[in-house]
Copies of this chain bind each other. A is one copy, B any other.
Amino acid sequence: MGEMASGGQSAEQAPPSFVELATRILESSGARMTVVRRILCEVLQNAEHSMSSDQLLTEAKKRDPLISMSSVYRTLKFLSDAELLRQIDGLDGERRFEKADLKTAASHIVCRDCGIVVSLSDPCLAIRETPAIRAEGFHRERISLRVEAKCTELAETGDCKRRNRAK
């Protein structure tokens, strides 16, 4: 769960972790990777799903109860500007965040029944769309697919496993 391997500094196969990426960006702009920022980055790094600003604050407070919403938003803004975060729109315009790592494309299903957001993998999405985007006179920088859907399991059985996990 913590850092592992990556003993030397020569290999080029070591995938930099989210916290490492954030640290680089921060330091390259004269900023510091402080305790508060590290906690927020680590929460985002370890999050299995996208989070709202509220959830992020709640999680961070478990590690340091004094962390404030200002820091959450300041950090989210910073990481977003650095393209390290992706924003996802949940139900009712709810904004959620998740680490973007290096992918340029991402797809998500937003469940209309319970509001959870599920990631969907489609490596070809960006490539397929490139010609049409170019034809419009644009150069693609980031691409995301959003699917609103109903839960099959809920419709058939009246209940849904996913529903029983925190939003």
Contact call B150/A139, Cβ cutoff below 8 A: yes
Oligomer copy total: 2
Query: How many residues of A are in contact with the other chain, CB < 8 A?
Result: 36
A3 at the B interface (CB under 8 A): no
How far in angstroms is the closest Cβ of chain B from A143? 5
Contact call A155/B132, Cβ cutoff below 8 A: no
How far in angstroms is the closest Cβ of chain B from A142? 4
A149 at the B interface (CB under 8 A): yes
A109 at the B interface (CB under 8 A): yes
How far in angstroms is the closest Cβ of chain B from A139? 5
A152 at the B interface (CB under 8 A): yes
Contact with B along A118-152 (1 / 0, CB 8 A): 10111000001100111011111111111111111
A89 at the B interface (CB under 8 A): yes
How far in angstroms is the closest Cβ of chain B from A134? 8
Q: Which 4 A-B pairs have the closest CB atoms?
A: A138-B149, A142-B148, A139-B150, A143-B147
